[in-house]
Structure 1
């Protein structure tokens, strides 16, 4: 009997449009002989099932069901394609845990931790994971540019602490530009992390649970045409993404081991994609994404293809592993 799969997409953050594209790819890719796929749009103002004619049916949040033509449908598994809140920060994971509905991403705690850049990096440092120098700012704090520069230097990156797709990120070259960058970041979050600039090769490493084992996918080297790997570089073609990355054997072994260690130390499940920059030959972790982009142009699907894993198999495996759990 075919399983009913709810593909949740959209979300409450600036990343909602990217999420809708990811969710649509999942919807079009899932094996129709095994699954009944349902597109579920999650927005602050509405949770709805959207059928093939784009007719909307309201989701009953009491049990995450939908009634169509007086017939109630429930779901065997949820495929999480929401980038940002509430799909990547733990809220949806907690909700489905309470309802006892399997879902394809990591658990609530891991989602909340990895979505908070500074908490995640602080958790991993005792395990020997190298990171950039950082300075933390909360909304309402007094801004002292000299203290920031003394800690992280220039240039530096000012980032919204809990945001993705490079929303709320600015590369700052001059002291007088710091306050404006902070204002940009505060539009996305009430917490900010300011990090030192790491000058080196940037790579993205996908790690997944594939057929019950932790699998590190072929590494992607990122070369941005812009000042850094910003929104344009990620989604509008302003970058080169080279898979497999042009690394030495030692560099490849290092970052593969570290990415796997991060995944296992954090007790992750499902998909993950972590970003690193090599400084003096050593990979430094930037962040961990637990609901990475799943469009045909996204990095994780490119890496899976390089590993000989089709999108059909990638998405099918995510559901199979979720149902096991």
Structure 2
């Protein structure tokens, strides 16, 4: 009997449009001879099953079920394609755990931890995983530009602590521009991380659980045409994404080891994509994404295909691992 698979997409954050695209790609490539597939749109004001004819049917949040005609449908597994809240911060994971429905992303704790850049880097630091010098602010804190500049130097990056796709991030060159950058970051989150600028090669490393084993995918080098790898660089073609990355053997071995160590130390499962910048031969972690982009142009699917893993195989494996 074919399994009923809910593909959740959308979300509550600025990334909802990207998520809708990722979810649609998953729907396109999953094998419909093996699975009954349902696109579930998750928004603050509605949870709905979206049909191919653009009809919408409400989701029963009590048991995460839908009706198709007169038939009630429950789900054997959920494929999580939501970037940002509530799919990448542990909320949906907790909900499905309470309902005892398997889902493809990491567990609730790991999801919440990795979504919080400050907490993630603090947890990994004792394991020898390097990161940039940082300064933290919460909404309402006094903004001391001199203290910030002394701690992290200039230029620096001002980032929303819990946001993705480079929303709420600015590169700041002058102290007098810090306040505006901080206000911009507060539009996305009430917590901020300000980090020193690391001038080196930026790479993205995908790590997945594939056929029961931790697998590090081919590394992608990021070369942005803009000042940094911002939203436009990521989604409007303003960057080169070179896979495999142009690294020395020493650099490659080090970043593979660090990415795998972070994945296993955190007891991850499902997809992850971590960003690093090399300072000489040492990789410094910037962040980890646990529901990365899954479009045909996205970095992790590109890496998988170079590793010989097709999109149907990549998505099918995620469901098999969740159902174990």
Same fold (TM over 0.5): yes
Once the two structures are superposed, the pairs formed by residues 114-153 of structure 1 within 5 Å of their partners are 114-153=114-153
Once the two structures are superposed, the pairs formed by residues 182-201 of structure 1 within 5 Å of their partners are 182-201=182-201
> How many Å separate the matches in 2 of 1:53 and 1:283?
47
What residue in structure 1 maps to residue 261 of structure 2?
261
What residue in structure 1 maps to residue 5 of structure 2?
5
SS in 2 for 1:60: coil
Once the two structures are superposed, the pairs formed by residues 23-172 of structure 1 within 5 Å of their partners are 23-172=23-172
> How many Å separate the matches in 1 of 2:237 and 2:177?
27
Q: Deviations over 1:223-282 (max 9, x none)?
A: 000000000000100000000000000000000000000000000000000000001220
> How many Å separate the matches in 2 of 1:265 and 1:89?
18
1:67 Cα offset (Å): 1.2
Moved over 6 A (4+): none
> How many Å separate the matches in 1 of 2:159 and 2:50?
34
1:71 Cα offset (Å): 1.1
Structure 1: 5+ residue stretches without partners: none
SS in 2 for 1:214: strand
> How many Å separate the matches in 2 of 1:151 and 1:268?
32
Structure 2: 5+ residue stretches without partners: none
Q: Does 1:293 align with 2:293?
A: yes
SS in 1 for 2:309: coil
> How many Å separate the matches in 1 of 2:142 and 2:190?
14
> How many Å separate the matches in 2 of 1:279 and 1:113?
25
Q: Give the alignment's TM-score, normalised by structure 1.
A: 0.99
Q: What is the number of equivalent residue pairs in this alignment?
A: 324
1:159 Cα offset (Å): 0.1
Q: Deviations over 1:73-106 (max 9, x none)?
A: 0000000000000000000000000000000000
> How many Å separate the matches in 2 of 1:236 and 1:34?
35
> How many Å separate the matches in 1 of 2:280 and 2:137?
28
> How many Å separate the matches in 2 of 1:70 and 1:308?
42
Q: Deviations over 1:133-172 (max 9, x none)?
A: 0000000000000000000000000000000000000000
> How many Å separate the matches in 2 of 1:218 and 1:242?
10
Once the two structures are superposed, the pairs formed by residues 157-306 of structure 1 within 5 Å of their partners are 157-306=157-306
Q: Give the alignment's TM-score, normalised by structure 2.
A: 1.00
Report the aligned-residue RMSD. Answer: 0.4
> How many Å separate the matches in 2 of 1:306 and 1:68?
39
> How many Å separate the matches in 1 of 2:86 and 2:105?
12
SS in 2 for 1:287: strand
SS in 1 for 2:85: coil
